[in-house]
Amino acid sequence: MLRAIDQFFLDKEEPVKSYLLAMRQLLLQFDPHITEEWKYSMPFYYYKGRMFCYLWVHKKYKQPYLGIVEGGRIEHPSLILEKRARMKILLFDMDKDVPVKTVHTILKKARQFYT
């Protein structure tokens, strides 16, 4: 029996599935203090036990994105505020490779709020 979090990734169609799985690996390898949890029916990533970020698919654009919990406190041209007060998202273009450098830059900025 698969865990709900694993089923989440398997239920996605390509290329969304591969993109989300690549992001999952990137997040888990970024810092040893990041852990993966199933919260709010989505993959959530915690940093030292506190909600840090999550992966989801944008309903309107059908594109995967990384939601940053403290995104509202981060200035970065790739982050989008939308209608959230606290969080910002990093929307991914599936026609391009995962922007690893951009993701790392944003995660480093976000991590500052957890020390």
CATH code for the domain in which residue 28 is found: 3.90.1150.200
**Strands of 42-47's sheet in order across:** 34-39, 42-47, 50-57, 64-68, 88-91
Q: Looking at the whole model, is its pTM more than 0.85?
A: yes
Residues 13-58 have pLDDT tens digits of: 999 999 999 999 999 999 999 999 999 999 999 999 999 999 999 9
How much is the pLDDT for 115? 80
Q: Which domain holds residue 97?
A: 4-114
Question: How far apart, in Å, are the Cα atoms of 82 and each of 7, 43, 46, 47, 91?
Answer: 28, 20, 22, 24, 11
How much is the pLDDT for 85? 77
Residues 65-111 have pLDDT tens digits of: 999 999 999 999 999 998 877 899 999 999 999 999 999 999 999 99
Number of domains in the chain: 1
The tokens of 35 are what?
């852990």
